[in-house]
Structure 1
Amino acid sequence: MKIYFSDFFEVNPSILEEFGAFNISLINDLPLFIDPFLLFGSKKTEYQELHENILKYLTFLKTKAENGINDFAEVKSWYLFPEVKQNWFGYSKVGNGGSGLGPKFGKAFSSSIHIVFDDLGKEQVTQSSHLEKAGLFEIGVGKDNISDFTTNLIKEFLLEYTQEFTKKHIDKKHIKTINVNKVYFDYELERWMPKEYELPYLFGDFALLTPRDILTKDDNWINSNDLRGDFTRICGSIPNDQLRHEIFNYFKKSLPKPPKNKKNTQKEISLAIHNTIKQFPEIIKYYVKQKEENKVGAKNISKQKVQEVESIFIEQLGKFVELLMDKSDFYEISPESSYEESLKRINYLKTVIEDNDGYRLFYVNHQPIKREEDLQIIYRLTWFASDFDVNREPNNGRGPVDYAISKGSKDKTLIEFKLASNSKLKQNLAKQVEVYEKANATKKSIKAILYFDASEYNKVKKTLKELNLENAENIVLIDAGRKISASNVK
């Protein structure tokens, strides 16, 4: 069964590990991305140079913006990039193809870069500037944009890194010479240039390796959630007592007076914090300063997050696939309809999870998975060996459904994977898939609901009873709670 880079290109996973590369899935994107702070905080000279090159390009963009960009062709040339989908990381909803950096990002960033990076190259509070600052201002730049921009700006390094591994460890039958677009920036010509590489080639495209030690999951080390969540302590650390007083005074005035014997709601506090940061952007510099002072923390947390992804999506998933192969007919191709095949496979999953120790897949450090996105990726990676067309989260106009399984245009089944802990589960069961069915021109749908304990099970059963869905064939409850070993059962 082939899922990972090592499988398709016939390389021992230990060789990838020794090289320092992450063993990517070539079936679906995994929820990791490159954090530019890990380049800045690294002791490796090559990583520090990459961070300096990012700042060099930002300096170029800022200079052009200050001189005035009147032609959208310049924005298109300097700010717009496709997603580097060949690294198989990120937020894509189908396979590994994301939207990349489009006109919306280009216009937002080009019009605000002189504000976001006002002290670029002249930093006094912080040691350096950071691309991630763009995600701290309300300018329409999110963490996915930061990730895509970073990957594009260090693409030459990633290509050379992959080419080095390819020449040493991959059979020539898997290698192709590729002329890659937008590899490096020529500052004299002021344009992105192509370059030729020998790369691993599969499914009509090349694959790109990434070092494990520049990857993270969920958030950049510098992120808006931490900025707002640690607002009071950050502001309290500002050495300028006059500025500190003005900030706290503005914050207090921004809070509405609560009713008698009541406190301000979290929503009111969050809005006051947001308004205060907008009024005093200096707060961001002191936040970044604190982040810079904890480079070791950034490295340790990112390492832990990468290990968690490897644990779930490589080690435990590999064992889970082995169970499916050994204990069921999950991977046997069936001539049945998409609905029958989908229902049969989900029930196979249920059996393996509940009766054959498959539940272990859904625990990391003894804690159950609580992200539906992770559950959906797991499902996608276990379904790959099928003659059915599997679309993960296809969006046909009314929002993405988890999967549409089809065999021809007239035989399609929609599948929703949900956690019982989802606060909107009842709403979803009642309305969501019905809407999706209309958008996808199908009447067939299946809902698989994963629960971890008795309270979650009781909640689901109550919801199904309220909706008159207790005996619905197309709703499959899966018990992923820890099981007592047979040897310990009395």
Structure 2
Amino acid sequence: MKRENDVPIYFTDIYHASEKSFKDYGAFNISLIADLPLFIDPFLLFQSNKAEYQALHKSIVNYLSYLRDLSHRGTISLGRLQSLFFFSEVKQTYLGFSEIGNSGRGLGQKFALALNRHLISLFTSFGKETITQGTHLEKLSLISPGVGKDMISDFTTNLIKEYLCEYTQNYCLKNIESKYLAKVNVPRVKFNYELGVWISKTYFLPIYNHDYVLLTPKDILTKQENWINRDDFYDSFYEIINARPNHQLRAELNEYLKKVLSKRPTEKEKDVAVEDFIKNHPELIDLYIRIKEEKGELATRRSAVYVSESETLYIKQFSELRNYLFQNTLFYQTAVSSEQETLQRITYLKDAIENKGCWKLLYKDGKPLRKEEDIHIMFRLVWYGTTFDVSREVNDGRGPADYKVSMGLDKTVIEFKLANNSHLKQNLQNQLELYKKASDAQVGFKVIVYFTNLELAKVQHVLKELGMLKDPKVILIDARNKLSASKVR
């Protein structure tokens, strides 16, 4: 029987690292095949009892304070803005579940301009707060739509890249054979305040696909949203107002809303009104952050649960599926065309889930997966060893398809859907054909995963309405909880 390492996907597989040493070190066992949806939350640095993390958070605040002072001196040239405010995604961490491979969008002009603008106006007291216990980069996400966890995490990762390089080097020099390491000159790892420029440094780091790899400690990672985030802030807005003894502020808010809102305002109108009010009362941001600081221990506990669940699902359970396919099927034999390759792998996956007990691997704590993102990760992680290019969420002009399998001009696209998707009919009717045309693909498959009898009935009804019940390119995967053979009557 083949060993698990014969299908290397995770860091410990590829570099033959001891799982015990890795666990003791506290790093997350990343996949080098597909990014995983975890993010660095800067609040976890602030909240930590570790002096090294607190120092990292202080270094982030120092850099932002430097940018604030620079912004207040006058207009910053585009070149200077690009040098100090623009950052590439640190794709070498293999985190964040980027749109294509492990290369995300990074922090471009939108983020840079928003940061520069708010450092000049709303955040003039940045680094000198009196209401909150500390200073927080996440302030930017509270006031700027579109600046979400990915941008906050990317910015944080860039500002602590020196630490991540040293953290990775320290582990690898002690625990990994030197043949897997190379001397790498890593750009933009440390900021020289005297010269006002980012400088590079050299490290011994593991290499994969002609690029270096970085490890990240588990205790600064989270899933879902950052502890301080825009949605939570707006959900808590009226609670924050009503909890304060400032009657004048509440009266001012009520008067403002009467003035700007129609008699029957939409939710969007309310959000815009609240956003404008916050801009005139930035102290509300600090009041919200103070509340989040007071509950900071919950952030640490919550993130630990998220990381543990991710390890169980993405590493343990999806590894079991990968190993079953490798040891018991021809899943990892490459076919002669992208259509054959795709159909063969979908078919083996379908059989493993429906007939070989692998349906259990699509459940967490007895509950089925409810995020299509998790199904996408599962498919990419088990798709290993192919000579075809497998690209996730390829946007060729008409929106992103879940996957494109290609070799030169031979292309096939795949759309994965959960049966409980509220837009299932619309997606089946329109999306795949658009993606095929945009990608110049010859073939497209629609794969639908269902977990209950009710979901199956819904899918069959939709397919019947669309005349697709017998379409060979529409493949259903039955992930219902199966009774053991002894219990079936």
Q: Which residue of 2 aligns with 1:175?
A: 181
Moved more, 105-114 or 305-314: 105-114
- How do residues 85-484 of structure 1 correspond to structure 2 at under 5 angstroms? 85-138=91-144, 140-251=146-257, 254-258=260-264, 266-267=267-268, 269-335=270-336, 337-409=337-409, 411-484=410-483
Mapped to 2, the partners of 1:237 and 1:400 lie a distance apart of 44
Equivalent residues, number: 483
Q: Which residue of 1 aligns with 2:51?
A: 45
CA deviation vs aligned residue, 1:408-453 (integer Å, no higher than 9, x gap): 31x2111111111111111111111111111111231100001111
Aligned residue identity for 2:472: E
Confirm or deny: 8 A CA contact 1:116 1:137 kept in the other structure. no
Mapped to 2, the partners of 1:419 and 1:297 lie a distance apart of 32
Moved more, 281-290 or 217-226: 281-290
CA deviation vs aligned residue, 1:17-49 (integer Å, no higher than 9, x gap): 110100000011110110000000001111011
Confirm or deny: 8 A CA contact 2:359 2:481 kept in the other structure. yes
Aligned residue identity for 2:291: Q
Match of 1:135, SS?
Answer: helix
Confirm or deny: 8 A CA contact 1:405 1:414 kept in the other structure. yes
Once the 2 structures are TM-superposed, how far is the Cα of residue 163 of structure 1 from its aligned partner?
A: 0.8
Mapped to 1, the partners of 2:266 and 2:194 lie a distance apart of 54
Confirm or deny: 8 A CA contact 1:397 1:439 kept in the other structure. yes
- When residues 86 and 230 of structure 1 are mapped into structure 2, their CA distance, relative to the original with a 3 A threshold, is same
Mapped to 1, the partners of 2:333 and 2:290 lie a distance apart of 56
Moved more, 465-474 or 430-439: 430-439
Mapped to 1, the partners of 2:106 and 2:80 lie a distance apart of 17
- When residues 221 and 397 of structure 1 are mapped into structure 2, their CA distance, relative to the original with a 3 A threshold, is same
Mapped to 2, the partners of 1:200 and 1:146 lie a distance apart of 26
Match of 1:177, SS?
Answer: strand
Once the 2 structures are TM-superposed, how far is the Cα of residue 240 of structure 1 from its aligned partner?
A: 2.6
Aligned residue identity for 1:32: L
CA deviation vs aligned residue, 1:45-82 (integer Å, no higher than 9, x gap): 11011111100001000000000133111101101111
- When residues 158 and 400 of structure 1 are mapped into structure 2, their CA distance, relative to the original with a 3 A threshold, is same
Confirm or deny: 8 A CA contact 1:417 1:447 kept in the other structure. yes
- When residues 253 and 356 of structure 1 are mapped into structure 2, their CA distance, relative to the original with a 3 A threshold, is farther
Match of 2:394, SS?
Answer: coil
Once the 2 structures are TM-superposed, how far is the Cα of residue 146 of structure 1 from its aligned partner?
A: 0.9
Once the 2 structures are TM-superposed, how far is the Cα of residue 268 of structure 1 from its aligned partner?
A: 5.3
Confirm or deny: 8 A CA contact 1:247 1:280 kept in the other structure. no
Once the 2 structures are TM-superposed, how far is the Cα of residue 283 of structure 1 from its aligned partner?
A: 1.7
- Equivalent residue in structure 2 for 1:36, among 14, 30, 42: 42
Aligned residue identity for 2:29: N
Mapped to 2, the partners of 1:81 and 1:207 lie a distance apart of 18
Mapped to 2, the partners of 1:70 and 1:255 lie a distance apart of 37
CA deviation vs aligned residue, 1:233-291 (integer Å, no higher than 9, x gap): 22222233322332344346555434xxxxx7655554444343344332211110100
Match of 2:382, SS?
Answer: helix
Confirm or deny: 8 A CA contact 2:34 2:97 kept in the other structure. no
Q: Which residue of 1 aligns with 2:19?
A: 13
TM-score, structure 2 normalization: 0.95
Aligned-residue CA RMSD (Å) = 1.7
Once the 2 structures are TM-superposed, how far is the Cα of residue 107 of structure 1 from its aligned partner?
A: 2.2
Mapped to 2, the partners of 1:222 and 1:299 lie a distance apart of 13
Once the 2 structures are TM-superposed, how far is the Cα of residue 486 of structure 1 from its aligned partner?
A: 2.1
The ranges of structure 1 where at least 4 consecutive aligned residues each deviate by more than 6 angstroms after the TM superposition are none
Mapped to 2, the partners of 1:307 and 1:351 lie a distance apart of 29
Once the 2 structures are TM-superposed, how far is the Cα of residue 104 of structure 1 from its aligned partner?
A: 2.6
Mapped to 2, the partners of 1:489 and 1:139 lie a distance apart of 53
Mapped to 2, the partners of 1:387 and 1:273 lie a distance apart of 53
Match of 1:393, SS?
Answer: strand
Once the 2 structures are TM-superposed, how far is the Cα of residue 106 of structure 1 from its aligned partner?
A: 1.7
Unaligned segments of structure 2, at least 5 residues: 1-6
Confirm or deny: 8 A CA contact 1:40 1:47 kept in the other structure. yes
Aligned residue identity for 2:94: W
Once the 2 structures are TM-superposed, how far is the Cα of residue 404 of structure 1 from its aligned partner?
A: 1.1
Aligned residue identity for 1:316: Q
CA deviation vs aligned residue, 1:145-178 (integer Å, no higher than 9, x gap): 1111100000111111111001110101011111
Mapped to 2, the partners of 1:162 and 1:327 lie a distance apart of 35
Q: Which residue of 2 aligns with 1:485?
A: 484
Moved more, 245-254 or 457-466: 245-254
Match of 1:402, SS?
Answer: strand
Q: Which residue of 2 aligns with 1:75?
A: 81
Match of 1:136, SS?
Answer: helix
Moved more, 140-149 or 213-222: 140-149
Confirm or deny: 8 A CA contact 2:122 2:279 kept in the other structure. no
CA deviation vs aligned residue, 1:203-249 (integer Å, no higher than 9, x gap): 10111000000000121100011011122222222233322332344
Once the 2 structures are TM-superposed, how far is the Cα of residue 122 of structure 1 from its aligned partner?
A: 2.2
Unaligned segments of structure 1, at least 5 residues: 259-263
Mapped to 1, the partners of 2:95 and 2:282 lie a distance apart of 32
Mapped to 2, the partners of 1:153 and 1:376 lie a distance apart of 30
Aligned residue identity for 1:352: A
Confirm or deny: 8 A CA contact 1:450 1:480 kept in the other structure. yes
Mapped to 2, the partners of 1:51 and 1:394 lie a distance apart of 35
Moved more, 462-471 or 6-15: 6-15
Match of 2:225, SS?
Answer: coil
Q: Which residue of 1 aligns with 2:4?
A: none
The percentage of aligned residue pairs carrying the same residue is 47
Once the 2 structures are TM-superposed, how far is the Cα of residue 329 of structure 1 from its aligned partner?
A: 1.6
Mapped to 2, the partners of 1:362 and 1:390 lie a distance apart of 22
